[in-house]
Amino acid sequence: MSLALPQHATKVMKLAQAAGLTLATAESCTAGALAVLLADAPDAGKQFHGGFVVYTKDNKRVALGVPAKLIAAQSAVSSDVAKAMASGALDRCPADIGVAITGVAGPEPDEDGNPVGLVYVAAAAKGGAITAIECKFGKLSREDIRDRSMAAALTLLETVLSEQTDLTGRP
């Protein structure tokens, strides 16, 4: 794992703490690694509720309520599925902000032909907007793709936390 990731996670958790907001994850290709990272930040127990690992399409549907039709139409690696994962997580846990990652860590393209390194990251605030970004990391190693996906998720969390802080007027 990139050495910068734990520091990045700690920075995000401090922002969450300052804003008085709690976090949750919904992960496919990173399979729980972002949750481990957030849980390892100091005082994580106060801001990080946990999350969902939805490795199969079936589990995206059952555990997070991602519509089967959406997955059939757009595959599991798509902007809308990432958004549905983030909002599904918020509906099923007590967190204020949910972040989702779905993509192809490789080494082979997925069953729907999505290329290695294609990853979508989404973040949603409870009752607020959902933002998604597309990342094309190219054919890197599984570890590199996961690390970059987590970095993208942490950066998106920073943005959403800053917006929420502006909205609430909290520091």
Q: Contact region for a copy of itself (CB under 8 A) — 5-13, 89-97, 128-136, 150-158?
A: 89-97
CA distance 135 to 169: 31
Applying CB under 8 A, among 2, 92, 115, 133 the residue interacting with a copy of itself is 92
Q: Which of 26, 1, 24 is nearest to 120 (CA)?
A: 26
Applying CB under 8 A, among 9, 12, 51, 98 the residue interacting with a copy of itself is 51
CA distance 97 to 51: 11
Residues 7-46 vs a copy of itself: string with x where CB under 8 A? -----------------xx-xx-xxxxxxx-xxx---xx-
CA distance 107 to 10: 30
**Three-class secondary structure of residue 119 per DSSP:** strand
Q: Which 97-136 positions form the footprint of a copy of itself (CB under 8 A)?
A: none
How near is the Cβ of 155 to a copy of itself at its closest, in Å? Answer: 20
